[in-house]
Structure 1
Amino acid sequence: MTTGTIDLTARTPPPEPAPDELLLGFARALRAAGIGVTADRERTFLLAVATVGMDERSHVYWAGRATLTSTPADFAAYDEVFERWFGGEAIKPGQRVDVVRPPVVQAPLDSGEGEGGDADADTVQAKASAQEVLRHRDVASLTPADRAVAARVFASLNPRCPQRRARRHVRSSTGALDGSATLREQLRRMGEPGRMHHRRRGVRARRVVLLIDVSGSMSPYADSLLRLAHAYVRRAEHVEVFTMGTRLTHVTRALTERDPDRALAAAGRVVPDWSGGTRLGDSIGAFLDRWGRRGMARGAVVVVFSDGWEREGPEVLGEQMRRLAALAHRVVWANPHRGKVGYEPVQQGIVAALPHIDDFVAGHSLATFEELIEVVAHA
């Protein structure tokens, strides 16, 4: 009886890695190469690739470059790791990847003219690039050094209140005929015909009310939102600021301090419920009952800063938002997750509030804060 022989040299080829494992391995290889890839960036990368597909190599390349790099200095390292991971030499999981990174010229963001009067072109370019990257970064992920630079950017913002037509008229070169002024002109001229006077309705600043969620889920953004509120209080007219957590707190007076850091410290002493729970519906209801119906919300632009997480039932929030929309001229809701890839407004609080919101905007970076300022100014 003959027996078969077993070829011990034969090996079953290893299974192909799953797409998610392949992509996550690439992200970890970039981290090993020195690129600051966080868990949030990995999730965003997976969502981006799922959106554009993996049919073409270029789709994966640009999805990764848009989500996994933060500065132009990362591009060379990214290109090298991408070629080795998807095209050339394989990289073992956990292996340290050494790549040649181009030198980055560091420049202080508040520097003026140097000793010859003209700044070096490379330094100016690096400075502009760093500022532009910082404008689009999530403020919750900023380092202490980045926050110090961002604080100076907040001080340079120019918030403005929207304008509304006033009841009183003012003199104008065009518009309706001002009969009284024209008659007085003729009387001064002893009945002789004079020039015709015109008038138009004047304009006044419309009130702006800021309602800032300072609960635990919003604590990474609270500092930046209060700095934005401080810029509004210092530069715009008729601005009121409240914080919302387990209760409603009026902090406008604390934010009138000229120095932003002192203003935030004063607000911190006033607010008793930092990083606690959130009762958005009850807080908005308290604002309407105590201040809103007395006139603060009537005809105002009300801006709510919150991620929409509500500890109580969403029905309460929906009812209070309906009341708010009936009183206010316009309701703006700024959500820090609104501008992120893959976000969908599925939280119960957001779903209940959306029918009563006029503008649903992002609120997670300096660039989105600048866009919010324009939305409010033209409301």
Structure 2
Amino acid sequence: MAADPAPVLLRGIDRAAFAVAFVARLRRAGLNAGITETDDLVRAFEVSPPTSRDTLYWTARVALVRRQADLTVFDRVFAAVFDDAAPLPLTRSSGPAPRRDEGVNVTVPAGGDEVVAGGGLPWATLPPPIAADDTLDDSGLRVPELRPSALAALADHPFEDLDAHQTEALADALRAALTRWPQRRTRRHAPDPSGRRVALRPTIARARRTGWEAVSVVRERPLRRPRRVVLLCDVSESMRAQATAYLHLMRAFTLVADAEVFAFATGLTRLTSALRHTSAHEAIEQASLAVTDRFTGTRIARNITALLDSHHGNTLRGGIVLLASDGWDSDPPDRMAAAMARLRRRAYRILWLNPRAGAPGFAPRVGGMAAALPFCDHLLPAATFADLASAATHLQSLSAHRR
């Protein structure tokens, strides 16, 4: 004679209605669960009907909990629903439920009353992100990473008020914000049904099949390519507070697009290969070691002329030049004007980032800055990471037509 099937928990209860009611209570308690999680719980009940309170707990937890921060809310609501209720018709005897906050790994029995070593489903929660501290309150989750609101608040702080960790976090957020890039129209074309130009060769090739009658016309459009960007960063003594943050900005452009990066003080140093390192700390460290004249004098006009005369000068042709400096220059203003005039004829756009441009009452009265300003398309402030993000957004929104 066939054995009686094992009794199932919640027999005779509409499991879909139970799942909807349970999720609604979790949502009122603050757990972020929606229609997708509710559907996952109903399907889990269909695949594996709960046979005990523990199996019900883990089925609901796997289906509904997506974040470690929601475990406290889930445990509290689950206890409120089932602790004060009448005893459930469990299929097998079960001892007191273990505390789920004692360890990191909890083992669910595979079957029977005893827990077999190494058996069952290992449920591993994430370990605490930092070492335990007795002075901290255990009721909250200790997360060392900065939240978006904290990053937004730090973005308005001057560079000299930020430590290395905060600077790297803001630099990562700045790199993540670089989603679009200025493009240029090339001389090549690609087939496109919405194109305005008729592709003669493909059209004639198709006409050979229809008695040389152009029954179907192939159209094409011009291809667009990312525009080259060249960045020049001033690392002289007057830019000591901004140099590290500007190098992080240059690294973001190097990783996102095919940008060329140069640092200058009294001489010119190419940093493109150094800033392409996957680690931000290593990239800035290698870039700092590569610049031998860091925190010395400033020769802006001489370095711009040296770049134009070098074999890298062709990268400026049709590209966007981003020059980050306060404008203090040891070269005479007429030499700055001559260098900027050459750069203006070769580059597509010139953007100048000045850390003092956002100060109230700022006026470009310094000789070098006053001589270079007529050849710049835009003068942008760059005293905080919020200013750098605005400059990056402005760079991404450059139109294809020159103003």
- Bin for the TM-score computed over the shorter chain: 0.5 to 0.7
Between the aligned partners of 1:378 and 1:358, the Cα distance in structure 2 is 14
Structure 2 match to 1:300: 319
> Given that residues 140 and 364 in structure 1 are in contact (C-alpha distance below 8 angstroms), is that contact kept between their aligned partners in structure 2?
no
Between the aligned partners of 2:363 and 2:328, the Cα distance in structure 1 is 14
> Given that residues 353 and 379 in structure 2 are in contact (C-alpha distance below 8 angstroms), is that contact kept between their aligned partners in structure 1?
yes
Shift of 1:141: 2.5
Aligned Cα RMSD in Å? 2.7
Which AA in structure 1 matches 2:248?
R
**1:324 aligned onto 2:343:** yes
Which AA in structure 2 matches 1:167?
R
Which AA in structure 2 matches 1:176?
R
**1:283 aligned onto 2:303:** yes
Structure 2 match to 1:172: 192
Shift of 1:272: 0.7
> Given that residues 151 and 227 in structure 1 are in contact (C-alpha distance below 8 angstroms), is that contact kept between their aligned partners in structure 2?
yes
**1:337 aligned onto 2:356:** yes
Match of 2:216 among 195, 220, 244: 195
Between the aligned partners of 2:182 and 2:369, the Cα distance in structure 1 is 26
Match of 2:333 among 295, 301, 314: 314
**1:265 aligned onto 2:220:** no
Shift of 1:340: 2.2
Structure 2 match to 1:348: 367
Structure 1 match to 2:69: 114
Between the aligned partners of 1:300 and 1:177, the Cα distance in structure 2 is 30
- Give the paired residue count: 264
Mark the structure with the bigger radius of gyration.
Answer: 2
Structure 2 match to 1:234: 255
Deviations 1:36-61 (A, max 9, x none): xxxxxxxxxxxxxxxxxxxxxxxxxx
Shift of 1:207: 0.8
Q: Which fold has the larger relative contact order, with Cα–Cα distance below 8 Å and residues 6 or more apart in sequence?
A: 1
Structure 2 match to 1:142: 162
With normalisation by structure 2, the TM-score equals 0.60
Deviations 1:236-285 (A, max 9, x none): 12x10000100011111111211111111111221111111101110111
> Given that residues 318 and 352 in structure 1 are in contact (C-alpha distance below 8 angstroms), is that contact kept between their aligned partners in structure 2?
yes
Secondary structure of 1:253's counterpart equals helix
Which structure 2 segments of 5+ residues have no match?
1-66, 75-138, 399-403
* Runs of 4+, deviation exceeding 6 Å: 117-120
Between the aligned partners of 2:231 and 2:279, the Cα distance in structure 1 is 20
In structure 2, relative to structure 1, the CA distance for the partners of 1:144 and 1:265 (3 Å cut) is closer
Which AA in structure 1 matches 2:241?
P
Between the aligned partners of 1:360 and 1:354, the Cα distance in structure 2 is 8
Shift of 1:341: 2.3
Deviations 1:15-71 (A, max 9, x none): xxxxxxxxxxxxxxxxxxxxxxxxxxxxxxxxxxxxxxxxxxxxxxxxxxxxxxxxx
Which structure 1 segments of 5+ residues have no match?
1-111
Structure 2 match to 1:209: 230
Shift of 1:224: 0.9
Between the aligned partners of 1:176 and 1:117, the Cα distance in structure 2 is 63
In structure 2, relative to structure 1, the CA distance for the partners of 1:242 and 1:145 (3 Å cut) is closer
Secondary structure of 1:349's counterpart equals helix
Secondary structure of 2:272's counterpart equals coil
Between the aligned partners of 1:292 and 1:351, the Cα distance in structure 2 is 27
> Given that residues 352 and 379 in structure 2 are in contact (C-alpha distance below 8 angstroms), is that contact kept between their aligned partners in structure 1?
yes
> Given that residues 136 and 366 in structure 1 are in contact (C-alpha distance below 8 angstroms), is that contact kept between their aligned partners in structure 2?
yes
Which AA in structure 1 matches 2:342?
R
In structure 2, relative to structure 1, the CA distance for the partners of 1:346 and 1:336 (3 Å cut) is same
